Amino acid sequence: MSEPVSWRRIGAVLRVVVDHPPVNALAAAVRQGLEAAIDEAERDAQVAAVLIMGAGRHFIAGADIREFGQAPREPSLSRVCTRIEACGKPVVAALHGSALGGGLEVALAAHYRAAAPDAKLGLPEVRLGLLPGAGGTQRLPRLVGARDALELMLGGQPLTAAQAHAAKLVDRLLPGADLEAEALAFVRELLDRGAAPRRSRDAAGLEDRAAARAAIDAARAAQARKAPHLLSPHRIVDAVEAALERPFDEGLALERRLFLECMASPQRAGLIHAFFAERETAKVPEAAAAAPRAVQAIGVVGGGTMGAGIAVAALRAGCRVDMVERDAAGAARGRAHVEAILDGLVAGGRLTAAERDAALARFGSAHDYASLRDADLVIEAAFEDMAVKQAVFAELDRVCRPGAILATNTSYLDVDLIAAATSRPADVIGLHFFSPAHVMKLLEIVVPAKAAADVVASAFALAKRLGKIPVRAGICDGFIGNRMLAAYRHAANVMMEDGASPYAIDAAVCDLGFPMGPFQVYDLAGGDINWAMRKRQAATRDPRARYVQVADRLCERGWFGRKTGRGWYRYAPGGRAGTEDPEVLAIVEAERARAGVVPRAFGAQEIVRRILAAMANEGARIVDEGIALRPLDVDVALLHGYGFPRHLGGPMHHADAVGLAAILADIRAYAADDPLFWRPSPLLLRLVEQGRGFAGLNRLE
Ligand code: 3HC
Ligand code: NAI
């Protein structure tokens, strides 16, 4: 293995290369190496300047996140950056790929920055519950001003090289064809000009004090509104304020304290769990065991809400897409639907008109299944009805070429039964997209009993190509996500019948960090959809289960939510924000009386505890039954499909953070109200008995 940091003198320039795959993260050995390289530059009288570069695809992607939570090892990155900045010879950083977090902080500590066109410069620490902790909060505002610095640190989104150049964060844009030669030429040019070290701590970006103060106050107000439950955005604003108000070294010391405070917070643990979990979900046995089949031409059956969104996702990934509808009118509607989504993306600046035209040139819409003859993979998104799905699959079996993968987007139905309608069940799989399918990141990959390993591997490869986060799921009613949702909704409904107002439940859930509460989601999705499902399930429902009828009463009145102007809330025509409805509360009260419930008070804390306990318990069942391979798969499904607050890491991580023994005690206490629902999962009982948590559980081991 090569050294994580190596250096070589090329003429008067000490070229330092960070080579620590996969992303050159700043592990202790890299920090030590960088410090030693600067020592070498100071020591060697023949060195006139230093050039720092990264090997491989990135400059440096940041601190080594895997070291977080362990005992700190010297030198700290902050010390390394101070050392770089203090170097008596000009230090130049040449950036390509990711220059993120601590990686950008190294570049900010350097005296000059050059970048290849593919470079991405960002401080994404906020996404991990942290703040830049190696001088970034102090140097960046001095370089680019408080407003731009706050935007970069609070948004967490990187700048392109061109944007960074425009913001004066990058001194020289390089062509990037031969970065080393181009960067060396830039360093020599600086030396020829007699350029001296130019320290970011002395830069004048905060000289307009009034503008900086206004930016800080505006950011503080915006974060109080947007992220009241988060820690690190507020601490970022505090740190930038210190950059304005205090000498550099004092600001640096405060940044360190705030960084350590964030590092110690459960939010940091939750967000970093989410970061690693969403990379783990793609690691499934089939993807390791089999090579994916080639997929270029995709068929879509059904041009409704889901079919159109799926088609757009595939078109944007460069695939050919052929859509099949029931008749000519359906085919035209499907095409119009796809065009409307693409036009929306153009209007929103996320797609150019040329890209839209190119996508449409690869799109066909017909009402003849023959157009699917050459498809490599077909995704069915017709009505949620077993007879319809089986008929579609029998037809696909007839027309599709051997080796084509046949997928269903069903939300709940048994994919084994759908596969059984074909003569090739090994080629059938569930690809459960979420609405809107061209936007939502989650893709549940539902694996039926007979699916071939390379079909599963192909589904994971497709997810990657479409930019989706795949989660492997087994077959049950609702797979992972919708089954968790059902438990969550049940807990909410029963609480409502027992005394909590739907509005108090929505408010408590939103305060926790969900974008919407359960009743707001019913109104958004359309109450009729869930009503139809409840009617379907009526025949098989356990008669001992508590069944709360309030939603049925609303649906009987035609109150389906936003689309009908009223549901749990009332909506002004075309309005999105609903207002509370006293008539709904009267219906709730009438239903309580009918069910013989004596209402009692629920505080916000109890509301969220019950909801989180219900999810942890159902998640444990899902893992125990092998529907999810690992608790982290449940977490990722909830984070990316259902708006579960990311800073809690997902329902399973959160349960671990609370402690499974405490969750079990809650479940036992709640069982008095609803014994069937609040039976502890066998896995939860086992783990509590063994004194273990969900973390690290893996059904494959
Ligand atoms: N530390 C440790 N491991 C990291 C890492 C990091 N900063 N960044 C990525 N990795 C690992 C991933 O876990 C993955 O490991 P695996 O192969 O075992 O699953 C591997 O590197 C490749 O990562 P990706 O699959 O994400 O590769 P991509 O090419 O898709 O993306 C990336 C590359 C854009 C750099 C992306 O990995 C990323 O966003 N990384 C995190 C960047 C970040 O948040 N940096 C800030 C860290 S905090 C910090 O710097 C604090 C400082 O202020 C003191
Ligand atoms: P939709 O009603 O908007 O669209 C279904 C389309 O399928 C209609 O345009 C219909 O004409 C067409 N169709 C029906 N039978 C067909 C056949 N035999 N051949 C060709 N086309 C046919 O329904 P939506 O919402 O798009 O749902 C489709 C599937 O996706 C369902 O299984 C649903 O459960 C699932 N799903 C829906 C989600 C949602 O949020 N709407 C989310 C995830 C999955």
pLDDT tens digits along 470-493: 999 999 999 999 999 999 999 999
* Three-state DSSP string of 373-386: CCCCEEEECCCCCH
- Interhelix angle 631-641/481-498, rounded to 10 degrees, is 70
Distance CA 179, CA 192 (A): 20
Model pLDDT, residue 574: 80
Residue 293 corresponds to which amino acid? R
**575 — pLDDT class (breaks 50, 70, 90):** confident
In a domain, residue 398? The reply is yes
Same domain assignment for residues 228 and 337: no
pLDDT in tens, 355-370: 999 999 999 999 999 9
In a domain, residue 190? The reply is yes
In a domain, residue 272? The reply is no
Same domain assignment for residues 635 and 690: yes
Q: Give me the mean pLDDT over the 224-244 stretch.
A: 96
Model pLDDT, residue 554: 97
Same domain assignment for residues 439 and 486: no
pLDDT in tens, 134-147: 999 999 999 999 99
- With a 6 Å cutoff on the Cβ, whether 502 touches ligand 2 is no
Taking the centre of ligand 1 as the mean of its atom positions, its distance from the CA of residue 74, in whole angstroms, is: 21
- Would the CA dihedral through 474, 480, 481, 482 be positive or negative? positive
Q: pTM for this one? A: 0.95
In a domain, residue 288? The reply is no
**673 — pLDDT class (breaks 50, 70, 90):** confident
**336 — pLDDT class (breaks 50, 70, 90):** very high
Same domain assignment for residues 386 and 529: no
Taking the centre of ligand 2 as the mean of its atom positions, its distance from the CA of residue 385, in whole angstroms, is: 9
**59 — pLDDT class (breaks 50, 70, 90):** very high
Model pLDDT, residue 1: 60
Domains: count for the chain = 3
pLDDT surpassing 80 at residue 701: no
Residues whose CB falls within 8 Å of the CB of residue 48, separated by 6 or more in sequence, listed in order = 12, 13, 89, 90, 191
- Atom nearest to 102 CA in ligand 1: 50
In a domain, residue 418? The reply is yes
Read off the CATH number of the domain in which 311 is found.
3.40.50.720
Q: Name residue, tokens 């795959």.
A: 21
Distance CA 429, CA 451 (A): 7
Q: Name residue, tokens 């839209």.
A: 356
- With a 6 Å cutoff on the Cβ, whether 655 touches ligand 2 is no
Show which of 439, 473, 507 is a domain's final residue: 473
pLDDT in tens, 598-608: 999 999 999 99
- Atom nearest to 62 CA in ligand 1: 50
Read off the CATH number of the domain in which 549 is found.
1.10.1040.50
Same domain assignment for residues 174 and 190: yes
- With a 6 Å cutoff on the Cβ, whether 430 touches ligand 2 is no
Residue ranges of E strands in 46-205: 49-54, 91-95, 98-100, 112-115, 120-122, 159-160, 172-173
Same domain assignment for residues 573 and 534: yes
Helix (H) or strand (E) holding 530: helix 527-537
pLDDT surpassing 70 at residue 629: yes
Nearest to 175 by CA among 115, 261, 246, 133: 115
Taking the centre of ligand 1 as the mean of its atom positions, its distance from the CA of residue 59, in whole angstroms, is: 12
Same domain assignment for residues 254 and 376: no
Q: Please report, for residues 296, 339, 658, 659, the alpha-carbon distance to residue 694 in angstroms, rounded to integers and kept in the order given.
A: 39, 45, 12, 10
Q: Give me the mean pLDDT over the 664-686 stretch.
A: 96
- With a 6 Å cutoff on the Cβ, whether 66 touches ligand 1 is yes
- Atom nearest to 384 CA in ligand 2: 32
Taking the centre of ligand 2 as the mean of its atom positions, its distance from the CA of residue 308, in whole angstroms, is: 10
Distance CA 506, CA 517 (A): 4
Residue ranges of E strands in 148-251: 159-160, 172-173
pLDDT surpassing 90 at residue 530: no
Mean per-residue pLDDT of the chain: 96
Most informative mutation of 300, 326, 417, 418 for ligand 2 (most atoms within 8 A of CB): 326
For the stretch 693-697, contacts whose Cβ atoms lie closer than 8 Å and that sit 24 or more positions apart, written own/partner, are 693/655, 693/656, 693/659, 693/660, 694/619, 694/620, 694/623, 694/631, 694/652, 694/653, 694/655, 694/656, 694/660, 695/631, 695/653, 695/656, 697/623, 697/630, 697/631
Taking the centre of ligand 2 as the mean of its atom positions, its distance from the CA of residue 303, in whole angstroms, is: 7
Q: Output 69 or 191, whichever has higher pLDDT.
A: 191
Same domain assignment for residues 252 and 387: no
Q: Give me the mean pLDDT over the 609-623 stretch.
A: 98
Where in the sequence is the domain holding 667, given as residue range(s)? 481-697
Helix (H) or strand (E) holding 241: helix 232-245
Q: Give me the mean pLDDT over the 177-204 stretch.
A: 97
**43 — pLDDT class (breaks 50, 70, 90):** very high
In a domain, residue 286? The reply is no
In a domain, residue 667? The reply is yes
Do 270 and 657 touch, CB atoms closer than 8 A?
yes
Q: Please report, for residues 296, 297, 521, 577, the alpha-carbon distance to residue 375 in angstroms, rounded to integers and kept in the order given.
A: 8, 5, 36, 43
Torsional class of 403: left (φ above 0), alpha (ψ -120 to 50), beta (otherwise): left
In a domain, residue 277? The reply is no
Model pLDDT, residue 138: 98
pLDDT surpassing 90 at residue 699: no
Taking the centre of ligand 1 as the mean of its atom positions, its distance from the CA of residue 382, in whole angstroms, is: 39
- Atom nearest to 380 CA in ligand 2: 29
Q: Is 141 helix (H, G, I), strand (E, B) or coil?
A: helix
The two structure tokens encoding residue 220: 């503080």
Same domain assignment for residues 29 and 65: yes
How far apart, in Å, do the first and last CA atoms of the chain sit?
30
Residue 548 corresponds to which amino acid? V
Residue 223 corresponds to which amino acid? Q
Q: Give me the mean pLDDT over the 157-173 stretch.
A: 97
pLDDT surpassing 80 at residue 427: yes
- For residue 434, the ligand closest to its alpha carbon is 2
What is the bridge-based pairing of β-strands 91-95 and 49-54?
parallel
Do 324 and 304 touch, CB atoms closer than 8 A?
no
Model pLDDT, residue 537: 86
Supply the residues annotated as catalytic.
105, 125
- With a 6 Å cutoff on the Cβ, whether 366 touches ligand 2 is no
- For residue 97, the ligand closest to its alpha carbon is 1
Q: Please report, for residues 108, 206, 259, 324, the alpha-carbon distance to residue 200 in angstroms, rounded to integers and kept in the order given.
A: 7, 12, 20, 59
Distance CA 380, CA 304 (A): 11
Q: Name residue, tokens 């307009």.
A: 208
Q: Is 572 helix (H, G, I), strand (E, B) or coil?
A: coil
Same domain assignment for residues 249 and 302: no
Task: Write the residue with the smallest CA distance to atom 30 of ligand 2.
Answer: 381
- With a 6 Å cutoff on the Cβ, whether 553 touches ligand 2 is no
- For residue 378, the ligand closest to its alpha carbon is 2
The two structure tokens encoding residue 48: 């006139």
Nearest to 443 by CA among 435, 453, 455: 435
Same domain assignment for residues 492 and 467: no
Same domain assignment for residues 260 and 317: no
Torsional class of 48: left (φ above 0), alpha (ψ -120 to 50), beta (otherwise): alpha
Read off the CATH number of the domain in which 189 is found.
3.90.226.10
Task: Write the residue with the smallest CA distance to atom 23 of ligand 2.
Answer: 304
Distance CA 58, CA 62 (A): 10
